[in-house]
Amino acid sequence: MEDNIKVMYEKARVAFATVEFWSQEKVDEMVLAVGWELQKKETAEELARLAVELSGLGVYEDKVHKIGTKVRGTLYDQIGIKTCGLVSEDKAKGIRTYAKPIGVIANVVPCTNPESTVCCIALGTLKTRNAIICSPHPRTEMATYTTVEHIRKALAKVGAPVDLVQCIRHTSNEKTQELMANCDYAVATGGAALVKVVYAAGVPAQTVGAGNVISIVDSTVDIPTVAAKLKKSKIANNAASCSSENAIAIEESIFDKMIAALKAEGGYMCSTEEREILRKAMWPDGHTLNRDIVAKSSVYIAELAGLKVPADTKILMVMGEKIGREDRFSGEKLSPVLTVWKWNDFDEMLDRMEKILKFSGEGHSVNIQTKIDERIHKIGLRANVSRIVCNMGHTEANSGGWTSYLGFTDTLGCGTWAGNISCENINWKQFLMYTRVATPIADYQPSDDVLFGSYLKKYGKD
């Protein structure tokens, strides 16, 4: 029967049993076969076209580029990594560590990245000898299904069991919940609302959180360079990514010059009246983001709202007014709409940042543009986020890029701040368990001096 979850799971278990004790060499050959198939220009173009046509989200050219970059980056991050058998041995401590796969993993796929998310997760699960069953978003079933078919084609080419990667053909909430409940583990990429649903399935799970990136810009930067950098990052794939900048906080002394530079890059600053018109179009009921504006161009959004903007407008800008539910512009917008804040005291701006993230985006990411390392250090201490991108466009680095080492992924853990179990860029690391074997070593019980020396020296033994 088509989409019989029990049957799919049983097939996955058989495939998993086949590769469970494969050598590292054999596993790596399988992974490279899949990676080669996915990064082919014709494959990337097919998957990007399907993703954009079915979802109505994003930009085709950006999708093609993203698929190639994410696949090659994910492969690069895995080079030389041991994931099979004995992966490390510390003879001095008498500890041997053996890597073990988890089993069958449910992969809940978002409509924003129905193809590249599967690419990244599949390369990680195959590297770790796990099987996955994908549950696509209803709007982008064929994009995810086709991605899986390409993976299965590559698996067959090298003699690997094709049922290591499967996909629900006709998805539903009920099938997704059944899948998660019956698999050994789940990984779900999507909004914050998904977290509770996933954990309710009762299996260990990797989830993600909402993004609401604030880019703090100070007076030390080269203004035109930063404006161009942020524009490029903001409009990538029509801001479909949770890593897109949602706000820019500009130091007061360069505020006018930075706004002028952003306008030169295609930014349009809405008046107070235009801001209100845009707000009503983006949140018609006052609190739910209008899905018709998600990952659409700024010109399209302006026309939908009834605003007249230049034909070459790339970003719609609004001034930030309040923080929280009474001003939704302070939250995530998933569109080329940028909220602008002004500041003159860095510590006060960090306080404001914390309030904004508490409302939306805590645990995810922030951005800073500065030449003052002390400010980078301070935001590193203060921001309750998993990633801080410095002096780069956020989308080019946050989920993997060739100018940073944060790690390639489409699935960004946001830590306990967002109800996630990991604050890492999700890759092969999250799909392994380890068995540690202890062998006898010389007794190493410490003396009081080793344990309490500094305390005893200051306070004595009384």
Q: Report the catalytic residues.
A: 242
CA 111 to chain centroid, in Å, comes to 14
Q: Is 8 helix (H, G, I), strand (E, B) or coil?
A: helix
* Residue 215 phi, psi (nearest 5): -105, 110
Count the residues in the chain: 462
Q: What six digits make up the tokens of 66?
A: 């993203």
Tell whether the torsion through CA atoms of 152, 61, 289 and 293 is positive or negative: negative
Q: How far apart are CA 294 and CA 337, in angstroms?
A: 10
Q: Which residue has the tokens 């490029």?
A: 232
Return d(Cα 455, Cα 450) in angstroms, integer.
10
- b vs e for 158-169, b when ≥16 Cβ sit within 10 Å of the residue's Cβ? eebbbbbbbbbe
Alpha carbon 254 to chain centroid distance?
32
Rounded Cα–Cα distance for residues 162 and 156 (Å) = 6
- Count CB-CB contacts under 10 A for residue 194: 17
Nearest-Å Rg of the Cα atoms of the chain is 24
Residue 264: CB partners within 8 Å, gap ≥ 6? 224, 227
Residue 360 CB neighbour total at 10 angstroms: 21
Instruction: Say which residues have a Cβ less than 8 Å from residue 212's Cβ, sequence separation at least 6.
Output: 246, 247, 331, 332, 356, 357, 359, 360, 361, 364
